[in-house]
Amino acid sequence: MLSVQCGLRDDLEHVFESRDMADKVLTLAYYSLLCGGSYSHLAGEQAIAWFPCGDTISAWEATRLTASITEQHRQALFRCRRARSGAKSWLGVDSTSFTCHGRHLADAKRGKNKEHDHADQINELVIYDFSGGAPVYYRRMPGNMPDTRSMRVTMEELKANGFSNVRLVLDRGYVSDEVMEMLVKRNCSFVMMARTGDSQIARAIRETDYEEMTSRQCWIDRHRVFGKTMDYKYSVTVNGEKRDVSSLRMCLFFDPEQQGEVRKEVYARAIEMERQLQNMKDDRDKVDAETVERYSRYFDIRLTRQGRIRCFSMNERNMKKDIARTGYFAILANAMSPSRHDLSEILDIYGMRDEQEKSFMFIKSEQEGRRLRTSREDTTDGRLFIQFVALILNCAIYRRFLASDTLRELFPARQHMLEELRSIRMIQHPKRARMITEIVGRQVDVFKEFKMPVPVKLLPKDRRQEYVQALAQNG
């Protein structure tokens, strides 16, 4: 029912041109979502729980099925998901890494492993539709591929799959001159977190008057920060000539509470280091180069010939540098009119990235996708495809859970809600219609909030009329 509501079943039947294949893919996806672990346990789970595919799928059959998923299937699914995405949707661009134990995979490389595993990895870039609340595209990449190098091919891929006039939400990892110039030339609307170390941003922070920045006119009440719009000078190369563009603007924000917290931490750390240095001086301890380096950020230390501390003084200039930019953050917005998109909306748009980050958490935790246990190219691609399908279902559940006050009051987290439904069973007698066991307690509320019809006789007597009325109101 969930796959029907989000259109995923129709998409898979169109992609594979087979209802049976769509059932098998959905079965693997639901197993990944609800149970996780190796497919060697899938057959046992099918014996006690209902899955879309009625035939038992062994571990060998699961491997064969994933290996049969081709690049054409993947691209066809992207086009189907694009058709369900809004024309003016904001698309979040981000990547994650999967530890890989396959020794002969072309993309298995050493990179910045986000799980801190000392092993080869594969990177996966995911495009997330914030309007629909689900991923619409993914791409497998080598484990040593920097985010900035992935954007050009990604933009061509999106265009080929029907994503025109895209609006992107990017983080700092995608900021580079090459990416910026490409997006600006295409007049692509984007909201991108920028580095405060950028020369123009750093200068803007230095030259910003504190009283002006913290005035009432700069206060953004909904986000509890101060902000102002500034010019951002940028030029692109066209036919070998540099041309200035006016579509790019810088949105500078300031959180005095955050700066105050950092100030306290820096001062406390400096005082503790000063106390330690004084003790080393009084005890006439010998100090090695590593110790001097550790304290040199905030202290100028002079040693005797014997390597003992002769004197030291606090370097307040470096302390001020460390505090100066704290509390400030900047967002670059392109092709977005300030009159139509104020600072509060810019923060709202960038804040949607939190939903995409949670989707990565679903892959790594509930879907057991932190490590890839495949050793062949075709099975690796197939497993990523199944994880993508499972993620669409997972995000649909998450969106519905967040939208329901009732569910959030009944369950501390969405996983508790799913556990509540595990006791429901489907019974199949020979030559008779299927039937499901009774639905009681909080299970009734889950079915009602997800707009899932069930035989009324399975509900508690005092809940039947209420449930029927709720379904009628929801259409």
Domain ranges of the chain: 2-69+374-410, 79-253+330-359, 258-324, 414-473
pLDDT of residue 172: 85
Mean pLDDT, rounded, for 238-246: 85
pLDDT of residue 368: 65
Indicate whether 288 pLDDT > 70: yes
**CB count, 10 Å around CB of 351?**
12
Of 133, 123, 183, which Cα lies nearest the Cα of 159?
183
To the nearest whole number, what is the mean pLDDT of the chain?
87
pLDDT of residue 138: 92
Mean pLDDT, rounded, for 115-144: 86
pLDDT tens-digit series, residues 52-83: 888 888 888 988 999 999 999 999 999 999 98
Indicate whether 231 pLDDT > 60: yes
pLDDT of residue 276: 94
Q: Do 333 and 251 touch, CB atoms closer than 8 A?
A: yes
- For residue 363, name the pLDDT band (cuts at 50, 70, 90): confident
Indicate whether 475 pLDDT > 70: no
CA quadruple 253, 254, 257, 261: dihedral, nearest 10: 100
Report the alpha-carbon distance of residue 123 to residue 139 in Å, rounded: 8
**Higher per-residue confidence, 16 vs 116:** 16
pLDDT of residue 214: 93
pLDDT tens-digit series, residues 179-209: 888 999 988 999 999 988 889 999 999 999 9
Mean pLDDT, rounded, for 321-332: 90
Mean pLDDT, rounded, for 432-449: 80
Q: Do 193 and 179 touch, CB atoms closer than 8 A?
A: no
Mean pLDDT, rounded, for 119-137: 88
Indicate whether 158 pLDDT > 70: yes
**Higher per-residue confidence, 469 vs 304:** 304
Q: Are strands 189-194 and 167-170 parallel, antiparallel or unpaired?
A: parallel
**Higher per-residue confidence, 438 vs 395:** 395
Contacts of 154 (CB under 8 A, 6+ apart): 93, 125, 127, 139
**Higher per-residue confidence, 85 vs 27:** 27
Q: Are strands 90-100 and 167-170 parallel, antiparallel or unpaired?
A: parallel
Please count the CA atoms within 13 angstroms of the CA of 152 that sit on its side-chain side: 11
> Which whole-number Å values give the CA distances from 104 to 141, 148, 263, in the listed order?
15, 26, 50
Contacts of 143 (CB under 8 A, 6+ apart): 97, 100, 107, 108, 109, 110, 111, 113, 120, 121, 122, 123
- For residue 227, name the pLDDT band (cuts at 50, 70, 90): very high
Contacts of 304 (CB under 8 A, 6+ apart): 310
- Which residue do the tokens 């040693």 mark? 303
Mean pLDDT, rounded, for 401-424: 87
What is the rounded end-to-end Cα distance, in angstroms, of the chain?
15
Report the alpha-carbon distance of residue 362 to residue 390 in Å, rounded: 10
How many percent of the chain have pLDDT more than 90?
Answer: 37
Three-state SS annotation for the chain: CHHHHCCHHHHHHHHHCCHHHHHHHHHHHHHHHHCCCCHHHHHHHHCCCCCCCCCCCCHHHHHHHHHCCCHHHHHHHHHHHHHCCCCCCEEEEEEEEEEECCCCCCCCECCCCCCCCCCCEEEEEEEEECCCCEEEEEEEEECCCCHHHCHHHHHHHHHHCCCCCCEEEECHHHCCHHHHHHHHHCCCEEEEEECCCCHHHHHHHHHCCHHHHCCHHHEECCCCEEEEEEECCEEEEECCEEEEECCEEEEEEECHHHHHHHHHHHHHHHHHHHHHHHHHHHCCCECCHHHHHHHCCCEEEEECCCCEEEEEEECHHHHHHHHHCCCEEEEEEECCCCCCCCHHHHHHHHHCHHHHHHHHHHHHCCCCCCEECCCCHHHHHHHHHHHHHHHHHHHHHHHHHHHCHHHHHHCCCHHHHHHHCCCCCEECCCCCCCEECCCCCHHHHHHHHCCCCCCHHHCCHHHHHHHHHHHHHCC
Rg over CA atoms, the chain? 28
Report the alpha-carbon distance of residue 56 to residue 37 in Å, rounded: 17
Give the best-scoring range by mean pLDDT among 146-155, 255-264, 435-444. 255-264
Measured CA angle at 391 (ends 20, 360), to 5 deg: 155
pLDDT tens-digit series, residues 414-431: 888 888 888 887 777 777
**Higher per-residue confidence, 204 vs 475:** 204
Please report the sign of the dihedral spanned by the C-alpha atoms of residue 108, residue 110, residue 113, residue 115.
positive
Residues in the chain: 475
Mean pLDDT, rounded, for 164-170: 89
